[in-house]
């Protein structure tokens, strides 16, 4: 059965990360942080490594592909704490990378990630864990 795919468009560099329907379902199913912030997911752009929120309720199908011919992208989710030590809000950052990337390679990218426009649910800046 053909599957849909979406594009998670980075507002900074306009790079569109391809996101398969199955990957999106997997990400939502495995969310580590309680569903606050829904329907937003915070992605780390593959090209400019800035973090941006993406509203999955507004996703638009870019195309369809045959499930058999696909090569699944790799994704990881990293939990960022709030800069305010008193605040317990956590923010989940999701990085999707091309098929063949290892999880360690994605984790090694973290020093380049930029979350300066991302805030916790209480409006504080967040810290990317290293």
In sequence order, the 6+-apart residues with CB closer than 8 A to the CB of 8 are 16, 17, 19, 41, 43, 54, 96
Stretch that binds Zn ion, among 17-25, 61-69, 102-110, 122-130 (CB under 5 A): 122-130
Phi then psi for 103, rounded to 5 degrees? -60, -35
How far is residue 99 CA from its own chain's centroid? 15
Answer for which of 59, 81, 110, 124 binds Zn ion (CB under 5 A) is 124
Answer for which of 2, 15, 62, 103 binds Zn ion (CB under 5 A) is 15
Cβ count within 10 A of residue 120: 21
Three-state secondary structure along 69-84? Answer: HCCCCEEEEEEEEECC
Stretch that binds Zn ion, among 32-40, 53-61, 75-83, 104-112 (CB under 5 A): 75-83
Cβ count within 10 A of residue 67: 12
127 near Zn ion (CB under 5 A) = no
- x/- map, 33-72, Zn ion, by CB under 5 A: ------------x-xx------------------------
Q: Which residues bind Zn ion (CB under 5 A)?
A: 10, 12-13, 15, 45, 47-48, 82, 84, 87, 89, 120, 122, 124
């Amino acid at each position: 059965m053909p599957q849909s795919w979406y594009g998670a468009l980075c507002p900074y560099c306009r790079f569109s990360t391809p996101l398969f329907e199955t990957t999106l379902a997997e990400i939502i199913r495995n969310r580590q942080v309680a569903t606050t912030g829904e329907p937003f997911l915070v992605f780390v752009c593959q090209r400019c490594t800035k973090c941006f929120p993406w509203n999955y309720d507004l996703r638009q199908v870019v195309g369809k592909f045959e499930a058999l011919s696909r090569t699944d992208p790799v994704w990881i989710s990293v939990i960022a704490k709030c800069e305010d030590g008193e605040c317990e809000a956590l923010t989940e950052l999701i990085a999707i990378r091309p098929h063949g990337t290892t999880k360690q390679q994605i984790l090694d990218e973290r020093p380049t990630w930029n979350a300066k426009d991302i805030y916790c649910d209480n409006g504080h800046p967040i810290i990317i864990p290293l």
